[in-house]
Chains A and B, each alone.
Chain A
Amino acid sequence: MKKLEGKMIATGGIIGIIAALLVKFGNPVNMGVCVACFFRDIAGGLGLHRAQVVQYLRPEIPGFILGSFGMAKAKGEFKSRGGATPLIRFILGFFLMVGALVFLGCPLRMILRLANGDLNALVGLVGYAAGIAVGIEFLKRGFTLGKSTAQPAASGYTMPVLALGILGLLIAAPAFVFFSESGPGAMKAPMLMSLGAGLLIGAMLQRTRLCTAGGFRDAMLIKDFHYLWGLIGIFVFALAGNLVFNFEAFKLGFAGQPIAHTEHIWNFLGMALAGVTAVLLGGCPLRQTILAGEGDSDAAVTILGLIAGAAFAHNFGLAASANGVPLNGKIAVIIGFIVVLIIGVSVVQHVNRQSIATRSKKEGGASVGI
């Protein structure tokens, strides 16, 4: 068992160090790796939203997908599969992104922010755990998005091909693609370095299945700390990496943190929304990206939901900024909770009806004779 823990800490540690290095070489501070932010930047780069400061076709994301794809192919684990309640996945992915952009970062960036002294991320962490606890209550009552089934090859190859397309657009840089000239979108590590980091992380995570939501969920639900060790590895090594490579950017406190705000309630609620949606989806945005690379088209639909969520978040003025959370963003988070609650109750009711139906069918034969 000890050996596995070492492996998880090592995986997390490499991600933490890569994140610190990407910041050193140009990515925005505390955003060495951020899955939500990078999908948001890609949505901007494709012109799906027009927030001029967050538009860039981040090569890390195609890296995650293709790294996972390559590793899954090499190990014979690539399987085209899907068909497990895709529309609900899209909606959950959408609101996961809304929650993340109100907090300003996905769960991975939350850990990286914490590792750079940003205590607002601690509030986010408590919110994330609270959201996961709510999600677990739904799981206990029977919530499931069903079992995926084998699908045509074209379905599983969609995301890897899309990843290649994004890389192609990044390199060709046609006029219809947007690149930020200022702001976080203009801050970037060299393209090949970002891509290489993405490929490495993608390949590693395909092997280890590390998932930020899974880490907390398993710790709370079944007292299993396998994935949590990986998260601890990310935190410890990102902290060490930041102190070594980005010492001048390290700052302990709430105020004046990079790409962050101090509205505690909304840091809490934003991450709580991300937590509950991630648990219901069976994985955080990072995990969904890895799964999409290994042929899971349900995860691919979730990613489309994330991208749509990011586009709406900026088009409708929902996303937070260093100035705080706009009113629209607050309303969107509340709508998100209502929608998630309705989905949760609806699925649980459906599952319970199904199980009563199959039971009465099984027992039906016996009762006739009585």
Chain B
Amino acid sequence: MDYYCVMTFNSTSHALNFEKLFKGRGIAVRLMPVPRQVSSSCGTAAELPCQLREEIQKLCHQQHIEYDEVHMIHHKQQKNWFADWIKK
């Protein structure tokens, strides 16, 4: 099973600060809508490399980047007839 890690934030500006910090350091983070497995809010989260998550969290503390939580999300293999149909 495939998985990826996301960090959630209490406010969008925290997510933007986070992106600014890590993009500048060459770490592959990417802002995205909060995945629905985590919460159903209409907010912003950041995808990050799972192997670096402890380092990233430490850096966030040092640089005063506020965040909510880090989650590991498993991709589920789902069949979707419409998506398959669209791809044809």
Interface residues of A (CB under 8 A from B): 2-7, 9-10, 77, 139-144, 146-147, 206-209, 211, 213-214, 218, 221-222, 224, 226-227, 282-283, 287, 291, 294, 351, 355, 359, 362
Contacts and interface: CB of A to CB of B under 8 A. Distances in A.
B83 A2 contact: yes
Nearest to A295: B40
Nearest to B37: A77
B86 A143 contact: no
Contacts of B10: 144, 146-147
B64 interface: yes
B5 interface: no
Given A6-B86, A207-B36, A224 B31 contact: yes
16 contacts: A2-B83, A2-B87, A3-B83, A6-B82, A6-B83, A6-B87, A7-B83, A139-B12, A143-B11, A206-B40, A211-B42, A213-B42, A224-B31, A224-B32, A227-B33, A291-B40
Nearest to B78: A3
B40 A209 contact: yes
B36 A143 contact: no
Contact of B13 (A139, A218, A359): A139
A224 B33 contact: yes
Nearest to B35: A209
Given A10-B86, A214-B42, A222-B32, 8 more contacts: A5-B83, A10-B83, A140-B16, A144-B11, A218-B44, A221-B44, A224-B32, A359-B64
* Pairs A-B, 4 closest by C-beta atoms: A6-B83, A144-B11, A222-B31, A10-B82
> Which of B12, B43, B44, B68 has the most CB atoms of chain A within a 10 A radius of its CB?
B12
Contacts of B11: 139, 142-144, 351
A10 B78 CA distance: 15
Given A207-B36, A359-B64, A362-B64, A282 B41 contact: yes
A6 B84 CA distance: 8
Interface string B42-54: 1110000000000
Contact of A283 (B42, B82, B86): B42
Contact of A287 (B32, B42, B66, B85): B42
B33 A218 contact: yes
Nearest to B40: A209
Contacts of B78: 3
A10 B12 CA distance: 28
Nearest to A214: B42
B40 A77 contact: yes
A226 B43 CA distance: 13
A211 B41 CA distance: 10
Interface in B13-63: 13, 16, 31-33, 36, 40-44
> Which of A206, A213, A355 has the most CB atoms of chain B within a 10 A radius of its CB?
A355
A348 to B, nearest CB: 9
